[in-house]
Amino acid sequence: MDEALEAMPERFREGIQQVMQPLVERGLPPALSVGVVATLFGLSIPFIRAISLNPGKYYREFTIRKGKKDRRISAPKVALKLLQSWIGTHLSHSVKLDDCVFGFVPGRNGVIEAARRHSEARWVYSLDLRDFFPSVKIDRVESALVELGYSINSASFIATLCTLNQALPQGSPASPVLSNLVFANTDKALVQIATEEGVRYTRYADDLVFSGQGIVPPLLQDRVCACLVDHGWEIAPEKESLVELPKRLKVHGLLVHGVTPRLTKGYRNRIRAYRHLFAAEKIQPADLDKVKGHLSYALQVEKVPQ
């Protein structure tokens, strides 16, 4: 921080330090203004201002296939990606989220740890939110940043750098942590519902899961849906489901009606085939990284302690 202040005009240093120091001490990115960010990164003020005035110019658009649907990706170009990565990384490491959140949280083992929370379940109620990142509008990002301690002007500046067409873009490195921040109050409300109903709750991005070892609380689904609507979220009804034993209970693709999460039979067979081909060095070079990813994931699941 001393080096950054030294690089700024002397007449501004004291005022900037008073605002910057509390953020730096908390590990929050001190993205106070165009001038401060330009100084921190050694870039010109006109360049940073140009990005903040017309962020859409600094994205490239493309489509990827996910399942049976195409997903539109808005990926920031190098300069903007650098700024968003800096903001997202510092926020994700400095902001404490509720322990029900497992998506994009450093130190938490994502879907495996989330599934473990639901071990020995007798039923699983899961639902997804529709268009999660695009549904997080810029005003909600600004409000979440103000709650963290940013001024209104700084929050507006950060939100402008990290949104596209007034919403979080699918493809920005800052979108995951900002969506978690915006959803934090909803998480608190859902945790309260889960506690009152005596059930378990986890969230990975837009995938919400509730489970229990007793009977399904009769008001749970209505309370959860009402809570989400009240907080301004739209549920994807085609992805809402309640499954009870003796049917297979899955959370993030893992079976959870045992002591620890387990791979499904179909996936175990797939892994067995991959291991055989890998040992025989019969994996095509183009498929090697994908296969290694599957083998690593299976090994993590198999090592989950009881």
Residues 289 and 211 grouped into a single domain:
no
Whole domain around residue 296: which residue ranges? 264-303
Tokens 């940013």 sit at which residue? Answer: 150
89, 99, 113 from 176: Cα distances, Å: 10, 16, 18
Cα Rg of the chain, angstroms: 22
CATH number at residue 234: 3.30.70
CA pair distance 140, 27, nearest whole angstrom: 22
What pLDDT sits at residue 64? 82
What pLDDT sits at residue 224? 98
Residues 160 and 201 grouped into a single domain:
no
Residue 151 CB: number of other CB atoms within 10 A? 13
Pick from 41-55, 67-81, 228-242: least confident: 67-81
Indicate the pLDDT class of residue 233, thresholds 50, 70 and 90.
very high
Cis peptide before 246 (omega within 30 of 0): yes
CA pair distance 13, 288, nearest whole angstrom: 53
Q: Is residue 236 part of a domain?
A: yes
Residues 159 and 220 grouped into a single domain:
no
Asked whether residue 248 carries a pLDDT value surpassing 90, the answer given is yes
Asked whether residue 4 carries a pLDDT value surpassing 90, the answer given is no
Residues 194 and 290 grouped into a single domain:
no
Closest CA to 124 of 33, 207, 235, 50: 207
What pLDDT sits at residue 265? 93
Asked whether residue 65 carries a pLDDT value surpassing 80, the answer given is no
DSSP state of 101: B
The distance in angstroms from the start CA to the end CA of the chain is 45
Closest CA to 117 of 6, 8, 251: 251
Residues 75 and 154 grouped into a single domain:
yes
Residues 76 and 203 grouped into a single domain:
no
Residues 146 and 156 grouped into a single domain:
yes
What pLDDT sits at residue 132? 94
What pLDDT sits at residue 7? 78
Domain count, the chain: 3
**Contact predicate 121/261, CB 8 Å:** no
Asked whether residue 241 carries a pLDDT value surpassing 90, the answer given is yes
What pLDDT sits at residue 13? 79
Give the mean pLDDT of 103-122.
91
pLDDT digits (tens, 9 = 90+) for 286-298: 999 999 999 999 9
**Residue 188, CB-side half-sphere exposure with 13 Å CA sphere:** 7
CA pair distance 143, 147, nearest whole angstrom: 6
Residues 22 and 161 grouped into a single domain:
yes
Indicate the pLDDT class of residue 306, thresholds 50, 70 and 90.
low
Residues 191 and 277 grouped into a single domain:
no
Asked whether residue 68 carries a pLDDT value surpassing 70, the answer given is no
With a pLDDT cut of 90, the percent of the chain lying above it is 81
Residues 164 and 275 grouped into a single domain:
no
**Contact predicate 143/156, CB 8 Å:** no
Angle between helices 220-230 and 175-197 (to 10 degrees): 140
Residues 39 and 157 grouped into a single domain:
yes
Closest CA to 237 of 131, 135, 129, 124: 129
What pLDDT sits at residue 218? 96
Indicate the pLDDT class of residue 18, thresholds 50, 70 and 90.
confident
What pLDDT sits at residue 130? 93
Question: Is the Cα torsion angle 203, 193, 305, 264 positive or negative in sign?
Answer: negative
Asked whether residue 146 carries a pLDDT value surpassing 70, the answer given is yes
Residues 41 and 146 grouped into a single domain:
yes
What pLDDT sits at residue 177? 96
Average pLDDT, the chain: 92
Q: Is residue 248 part of a domain?
A: yes
111, 145, 194, 264, 279 from 268: Cα distances, Å: 17, 43, 32, 6, 16
pLDDT digits (tens, 9 = 90+) for 254-304: 999 989 999 999 999 999 999 999 999 899 999 999 999 999 999 999 887
Q: Is residue 116 part of a domain?
A: no
What pLDDT sits at residue 9? 76
